[in-house]
């Protein structure tokens, strides 16, 4: 339609810091799980103990939700992993992909890491998420060896970016 504005145009997300258990944050994480889980459903993990992809909310440093107007459209969190801060649960609703929302969330997470005085941010993404791999590589992240707890997931992609 001529003159029709879709959610993908004129997006200027604002990223807010929220609690891990914020309703919008929880809803976005549930959407992310529903989207990603089928990609990995065929894999069986014979793990003992907690899942390596689980997030203990006690380790969460900050949680971010991106909004367009009043609509929550993206999520990211940063958690402590040993002495590093790790990006977790980066997700943008499909209608808002390619709009700069992911970049805004990533920049907010990186600013949080810098403010905490850490020199780099680390992250892990699954081997069946090539779009995420491309995004992180375009954003200046480089591959690093698997780090705990992902050492039990040998096909993981682990990345870091020096922020100083």
Minimum mean pLDDT among 16-25, 49-58, 80-89: which range? 49-58
Residue 46 pLDDT exceeds 80: no
Q: Decide the pairing of beta strands 84-92 and 120-125.
A: parallel
**Band of residue 43 on the pLDDT scale cut at 50, 70, 90:** low
- pLDDT, one tens digit per residue, over 108-146 is 999 999 999 999 999 999 888 999 999 999 999 999 999
The DSSP secondary structure of 9-34, one letter per residue, reads SS---EEEEE-TT-HHHHHHHHHHHH
Q: In the chain, where do the E strands start and end?
A: 14-18, 60-68, 71-81, 84-92, 120-125, 142-143, 157-162
Rounded to two decimals, the pTM is 0.88
CB neighbourhood size of 119 (10 A): 13
- Whole-number percent of the chain with pLDDT over 70: 87
Residue 66 pLDDT exceeds 90: yes
Residue pair 89/30 in contact (Cβ under 8 Å)? The answer is no
Which residue did the predictor score with more confidence, 133 or 57? 133
Residue 12 pLDDT exceeds 90: no
* Cα gap 59→73, rounded to integer Å: 24
Fold classification of 14-122 is Aminopeptidase (3.40.630)
Residue 155 pLDDT exceeds 50: yes
**Where exactly are the structural domains of the chain?**
14-122
């Amino acid at each position: 339609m001529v003159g029709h504005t879709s959610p993908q145009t004129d997006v200027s997300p604002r990223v807010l810091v929220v609690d891990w258990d914020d309703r919008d944050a929880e809803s976005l994480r549930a959407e992310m799980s529903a989207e990603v889980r089928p990609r990995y459903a065929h894999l069986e993990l014979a793990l003992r103990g907690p899942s390596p992809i689980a997030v203990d909310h006690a380790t969460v440093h900050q949680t971010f939700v991106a909004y367009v107007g009043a609509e929550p459209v993206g999520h990211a969190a940063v958690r402590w992993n040993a002495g590093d801060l790790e990006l977790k649960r980066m997700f943008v609703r499909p209608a808002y992909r390619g709009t700069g929302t992911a970049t805004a969330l990533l920049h907010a997470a990186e600013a949080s890491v810098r403010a905490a005085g850490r020199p780099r941010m680390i992250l892990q993404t699954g081997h069946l998420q090539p779009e995420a791999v491309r995004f992180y590589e375009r954003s200046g992240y480089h591959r690093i060896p698997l780090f705990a707890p992902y050492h039990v997931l040998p096909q993981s992609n682990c990345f870091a970016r020096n922020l100083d």
